[in-house]
Amino acid sequence: MSIRNGGEYFIRLFIGIDLSATIKQTIVQFQSELRDLGVNGSWKSLDNLHITLEFLGEIELDKIPAITETLTKAASNYKSFWLTIGGLGAFPSLKQPHTLWTAVSGSLTELNQLKYDLHQSLKIKGFKLEERKFKPHITLASRPKLDIIDFSKVLTKNLGEYRVAEVVLFESRAISDKIVYIDLFRAGLEITGE
C-alpha cells in the first residue's frame, strides 16, 4: 500500500533475489531444526525469504520506471549463476545477535558485481542508497534468543544450491499487522546451459 505524504505517493521498496520453492522449504525446515535446539525469535515466513541486494526505502511511485529500467539493463549484462545456501551466522555476532541468518556462497563474484552495478546505476539516477558493506545472507529470524545453545551441528550445514536467473523489485507492505513482500517487477538474467 502506498502512503500519501504532502501530495506525493510513496511505496517502500527493495531489490532482491527471490529463492526457489525447494530452497525456501529447506530453509523453513532449518528454522524448525533451530527451534528444536531452543532458538526463539521472530521467524521469517517462507514467502518472505530472499537475498536483499539494495534497500531503497520510501520511494515516490513515479520513480518506479527508472528503477525497473535499471534492473532490466543490469540483468541483461549477466548470465545466470549458482549460489550455495547454508550455515548459520548472526549480526553483529552469535553472542549478541539481533539478526540470525544463513549464509550465501558460490558465485559471489557475479553476485557482488551485480549488486555493485545496480548500486552505481541507481546512484547516478539520483537515488539515495545505503553505503554499508554488502554481506549476502538470508534472514532466518530477527531478535533471536540463543542463550546457551550448541550450534556445532548446524554452523556449516549445507541447505542446497540455487540458480539465480532474475532480480526482483519488491514492495514491502504491512497487511493485517504482518510484513508482506510483493514482487512488482522481475528482470531476467541470460539463461545458460549447464
Active-site annotation holder among 50, 53, 54, 170: 50
What is the secondary structure of 149-174 as a DSSP string? Answer: ---TTTTT-EEEEEEE-EEEEEEEEE
CA distance 20 to 26: 10
Q: What's the CA gap between 143 and 39, in Å, rounded? A: 10
Whether 98 is catalytic is: no
Strand pairing category for 50-60 and 81-92: unpaired
Whether 50 is catalytic is yes
| Euclidean distance between CA atoms 8 and 5, whole angstroms | 5
**Which residue is listed with cell 556445532?**
152
Which member of 24, 115, 119, 137 is catalytic? 137
Give the three cell numbers for residue 82: 549458482
Give the catalytic positions in this structure.
50, 137
